[in-house]
Chains A and B, each alone.
Chain A
Amino acid sequence: MSPNFFRAAALCLCLPLAACGEKLLTEERVTKLIDAADMAYVKGDATKICNLRARGFTLQSSYTDLTADRIVDSLADAEELAAKREADGEKLDTRNETQDLKEFCFNALTSARQYAHANMQRSRLEIHVAADGHEAQVLAHYSIREPLLAEGDNGLGRNDHDERQLATRQIEADDETRVTLNEDGEALIASTTSKARGFLVPSDRDARL
């Protein structure tokens, strides 16, 4: 067989393989996706938050309020207070929720402004890509601080309010996310299970006031 044959055969093999490579998940692709989703959250970009989710996306979340309306200095203090409350027979308020894509996107739209006021830091990111490259599991930990705001009558008119910050709510969340590929080979977030604990700390002052 001529060298040209082998060259052509190699080219024929490489092209589909290259195409396959682009359609498979890698740790780098998954990291980019998660980074984009996190950035969309802090920018309050509801459209992007929604578009990065797959058609059948589900969110299962549980949120436990450790301190109710009491303000503490740290997560350690919050955990100590929660333990004391439970020892005293008080039941911690835990909310469990499941959202489909429609509900999730609606929530993102109505909460976008709140997201933009939040400060989010990711302290852990573990990615496990399946051997076939079609799915990945992502484990991440987030610390989110958002202002707890109250509205008051500012005295100017019937529908006029001013905004006052009462405290900062700090949320520590452990998220497990499944990433898949859609029919176009696009990496999207297929589901997230989030376990979060929240507590109140003294106000972080808004840098724009």
Chain B
Amino acid sequence: MRACKLGAVAVLAGLAACGGGHDKEALRTVKGYEVGSCDSAETTDATELEAIARFNSEVRDSYFVRDHGLLTVANHERDAGGSGLRQYRGPFYTYVHLQRVSEAERALGVDWNGMVFLHAESVRQRRNGEDWSDWQRVRTRNFADQTRSTGGLTRWQCLMYAEIAWADVQHGHDGWHVTTDAASVYDQTELERLLPLPTAGQLAGNPVEAGKP
């Protein structure tokens, strides 16, 4: 690792350089995602930033462990042989997709609606008793009809990499609500397989216990 020179301004730049870009994170709001009009911009709106913060608290920090700039999850599968760890490598991008508040939702006190997606560049896994696999590009699980036939290419042409977790985020008179749709390989019905989070021992190589059958 290159030596990091200290200095008020140099610290920030140096940290970025020393980090190698793996833990770089970007927060962006999607302005349009059709093939011809795909666009996103750095998130600056206070409500959108709060939505991201809520997503991070309820989803990212609840299911992923940050370790050396990587995000790691436990996979508690039906048996010990299939269980293990999965790691994601950045740069990481968090995208806010704004959604219209319907009249019915407004009547219930909802004043902000959106979906938040966490994207990563690549993934690898280590089943119990095995070595880490090679890094592979994360593939998308979200499609519009017109991109189905293109071999699974990301439907969001201007968005970086592919999603590793996403959730519905809503704000209303009773506060924020986050509903996780998917994290790592699991959809809503199997999120419990991500818990408990990986321990330091498991990150170092100890086996991950199996989950429910």
Interface residue ranges of B24-47 to A (CB < 8 Å): 33
Closest to B164 in A: A209
Interface locus among A32-40, A47-55, A156-164, A180-188? A156-164
Residue contact A207 to B142, C-beta cutoff 8 Å = no
| Binary A-proximity of B132-170 (CB < 8 A = 1, otherwise 0) | 010011110111111001011001000000001010100
Residue contact B123 to A208, C-beta cutoff 8 Å = yes
Residue contact B185 to A209, C-beta cutoff 8 Å = yes
Asked if A133 is an interface residue, CB under 8 A from chain B, the answer is no
Residue contact B181 to A154, C-beta cutoff 8 Å = yes
Residue contact A209 to B123, C-beta cutoff 8 Å = yes
Interfacial chain A residues near B99, Cβ < 8 Å: 155-156
Interface residue ranges of A180-209 to B (CB < 8 Å): 202, 205-209
Residue contact B145 to A205, C-beta cutoff 8 Å = no
Residue contact B142 to A160, C-beta cutoff 8 Å = yes
Residue contact B182 to A162, C-beta cutoff 8 Å = yes
Asked if A116 is an interface residue, CB under 8 A from chain B, the answer is yes
Interface residue ranges of A100-144 to B (CB < 8 Å): 112-113, 116
Residue contact B115 to A116, C-beta cutoff 8 Å = no
Closest to B139 in A: A208
Choice from A44, A113, A164 contacting B187 with Cβ under 8 Å: A164
Residue contact B142 to A161, C-beta cutoff 8 Å = yes
Interfacial chain A residues near B75, Cβ < 8 Å: 205
Residue contact B144 to A160, C-beta cutoff 8 Å = yes
Residue contact B97 to A156, C-beta cutoff 8 Å = yes
Q: How many residues of A contact B (CB 8 A)?
A: 22
Closest to A149 in B: B141
Residue contact A162 to B151, C-beta cutoff 8 Å = no
Residue contact A209 to B184, C-beta cutoff 8 Å = yes
A159 to B143, CA, bound (A): 8
Interfacial chain A residues near B142, Cβ < 8 Å: 154, 156, 160-163
Closest to B213 in A: A202
Given A205-B75, A208-B136, A209-B141, verify A155-B184 contact (CB < 8 Å). no
Residue contact A207 to B115, C-beta cutoff 8 Å = no
Tell me, rounded to whole Å, the shortest Cβ–Cβ distance linking A155 to chain B: 6
Interfacial chain A residues near B78, Cβ < 8 Å: 202
Interfacial chain A residues near B184, Cβ < 8 Å: 209
A205 to B187, CA, bound (A): 12
Asked if B128 is an interface residue, CB under 8 A from chain A, the answer is no
A112 to B138, CA, bound (A): 20
Tell me, rounded to whole Å, the shortest Cβ–Cβ distance linking A156 to chain B: 6
Q: List 15 A-B contacts (CB under 8 A).
A: A116-B151, A154-B115, A155-B181, A156-B97, A160-B143, A160-B155, A161-B143, A162-B141, A163-B143, A165-B185, A202-B77, A205-B185, A207-B125, A207-B133, A207-B136
Given contacts A156-B142, A205-B82, 14 further A-B contacts (CB under 8 A): A154-B166, A155-B168, A155-B181, A156-B99, A160-B142, A161-B142, A202-B78, A205-B75, A205-B77, A205-B185, A207-B125, A207-B133, A209-B123, A209-B185
